[in-house]
Amino acid sequence: MGRPPCCDKIGVKKGPWTPEEDIMLVSYVQEHGPGNWRAVPSNTGLRRCSKSCRLRWTNYLRPGIKRGSFTDHEEKMIVQLQGLLGNKWAAIASYLPERTDNDIKNYWNTHLKKKLKKLQSGDSCLSGAGELFPAMLSKGQWERRLQTDISTAKQALHDALSSETADKSFAGATPYASSTENIARLLKQWMNEKPNSHNNNNNKSQCSSSTSNNRTAVDSSCSD
User: In the complex, which residues of this chain contact DNA (CB under 7 A)?
Assistant: 1, 3-4, 6, 13-17, 35-39, 48-52, 54-56, 58-60, 67, 69, 87-91, 101-103, 105-107, 109-111, 114, 204, 207-208, 210-212, 214-215, 218
111 versus 188: smaller Cβ distance to DNA: 111
Q: Indicate the residue type of 181.
A: E
- Min dist. Cβ of residue 89 to DNA (A): 3
40 versus 137: smaller Cβ distance to DNA: 40
- In the chain, count H helices and then E strands: 11, 2
Answer yes or no: are the C-beta atoms of 51 and 37 closer than 8 Å: yes
- Min dist. Cβ of residue 188 to DNA (A): 16
Neighbours of 144 (CB within 10 A): 12
- Min dist. Cβ of residue 165 to DNA (A): 20
CA angle 180, 20, 63 (to 5 degrees): 25
Reference 191, options 3, 68, 19; nearest CA is 19
144 versus 215: smaller Cβ distance to DNA: 215
Q: What is the CA radius of gyration of the chain?
A: 20
Query: Using CA atoms, how far apart are residues 218 and 69, in angstroms rounded to an integer?
Result: 8
- Min dist. Cβ of residue 87 to DNA (A): 4
78 versus 137: smaller Cβ distance to DNA: 78
Q: Indicate the residue type of 43.
A: N
51 versus 144: smaller Cβ distance to DNA: 51
Who's near 59: CB < 8 A, 6+ residues apart?
A: 65, 100, 102, 103
33 versus 140: smaller Cβ distance to DNA: 33
Which residues face 65 on adjacent strands?
177
- Min dist. Cβ of residue 41 to DNA (A): 10
Reference 69, options 101, 114, 103; nearest CA is 103
77 versus 137: smaller Cβ distance to DNA: 77
- Min dist. Cβ of residue 7 to DNA (A): 8
- Min dist. Cβ of residue 167 to DNA (A): 26
CA angle 200, 201, 203 (to 5 degrees): 110
